[in-house]
Amino acid sequence: MITLFSGLKFKDKKTVKELRKNQNLTAKELAVKLKLDTVDILKIEDLRLRDISEPLRSKLTPILRGDYMDNMTWL
């Protein structure tokens, strides 16, 4: 559990672009998962995760952490 919490702190320092690339997602794929336009993702790419407003951050965090991969039945 300690590594989980320290991992979250470490991810707060990275930009959305770095976290997105770590999950091998394009801006378009991330936009589809969040039901946003690609342009909106490109606008926030250079921001750190902690600098994004709360409603969007709460949507972004599970995807950038890879939680959506846990729900895939074939794995």
Domains of the chain, each with CATH number or no CATH: 15-70 (1.10.260)
SS3 70: helix
Q: How confident is the model at residue 72 (pLDDT cuts 50, 70, 90)?
A: low
- pTM of the predicted model as reported, rounded to 2 decimal places: 0.75
SS3 46: coil
pLDDT tens-digit readout, 6-62: 455 545 689 999 999 999 999 999 999 999 999 999 999 999 989 999 999 999 999
The upper half-sphere exposure of residue 55, i.e. CA atoms within 13 Å in the direction of its Cβ, equals 1
- Residue 13: what pLDDT? 85
SS3 5: helix
